[in-house]
Structure 1
Amino acid sequence: MITIEQTPILLNIAVLGEFTLADFKQFEEHALYMLKSPGTVNLLFDLRDMISYTVDVAWEEIKFFNREHLHDFSKIAVITEDEWITWQTWLSRMFVDADICVFTDYEEAEIWAAAA
């Protein structure tokens, strides 16, 4: 399950439990809507309460960020304490033209991601 909050430049996504394909499609719908507006779009992924994700989500993430929207996001903040997710986030920096940063503190991540 996910929750989504949206401001003019920030899409804030929190994952609770398992991150499913339906959840990813919901995120994608919001992101595509925001990308239609002029200006910067930043993402904040709060993954502290994510337990797991399905394989189809991983594939959709690769397609969405690496193929279709390589240059569309300015900043991507990821909040996690999980070493595996941190490693995956740093690895994706090679494939996405965005400033990506991992945080353990929500407030720090939000301040960084909300700055234009």
Structure 2
Amino acid sequence: MFRETLEDHDDVIGIACEGKLTEDDMKRIHALLHETLAAAGQPGMVIDLTGFDGFESPSALREDVRMETAHRNDFSRIAVIGDRKWIEWGTSLAKALTRSEMQWFEPHDRNQATDWAGGG
């Protein structure tokens, strides 16, 4: 599942992923991105993967890749928060799918991640 965070920021969208994400979760995230992008131009994004356990199915992973490639130019910066080293590796891999500037942050650096994603 996921939840939207940072609802009080106009220039940064925040998403926290928890447990295993389903294809339906990914479609709902995609709809949220479309809604936000329609209102905010080219915002920053903070993705919190601290509680993320992967994808429930190959179709969920495919939806994630489809979403990332569809929005490869839509975000100014993407901050990824996580406490496992594989997230740093995954961020490097995701850089191949997006033209947005990306950076990885430890969980205790959430505020710094938000500031960075907003261009600060």
User: TM-score w.r.t. structure 2 length?
Assistant: 0.84
For each residue in 1:16-69, what CA deviation from the matched residue of structure 2 results, as whole angstroms up to 9, or x when unmatched? 211222221221111001111353221111010112222222211211122x22
Aligned runs of 1:1-16 on 2, under 5 Å?
A: 1-5=1-5, 6=7, 7-16=9-18
The answer to whether the 8 Å contact 2:11/2:40 transfers is no
Corresponding residue number in structure 1 for 2:24: 22
For residues 97 and 27 of structure 2, what CA distance do their matches in structure 1 show? 21
Corresponding residue number in structure 2 for 1:112: 116
For residues 52 and 15 of structure 2, what CA distance do their matches in structure 1 show? 11
Shift of 1:90: 0.8
For residues 85 and 64 of structure 1, what CA distance do their matches in structure 2 show? 18
SS across alignment from 1:37: helix
For residues 113 and 38 of structure 1, what CA distance do their matches in structure 2 show? 14
SS across alignment from 2:89: helix
SS across alignment from 1:64: helix
Alpha-carbon distance change, 52 to 65 in structure 1, aligned in 2, over 3 angstroms: closer
Taking only the aligned residue pairs, the percentage that are identical comes to 26
For residues 16 and 38 of structure 1, what CA distance do their matches in structure 2 show? 25
The answer to whether the 8 Å contact 2:77/2:119 transfers is no
Which range is displaced more, 99-108 or 51-60? Answer: 51-60
Work out the number of aligned pairs and report it. 115
Aligned runs of 1:43-82 on 2, under 5 Å?
A: 43-54=45-56, 55-66=58-69, 68-82=70-84
SS across alignment from 1:50: strand
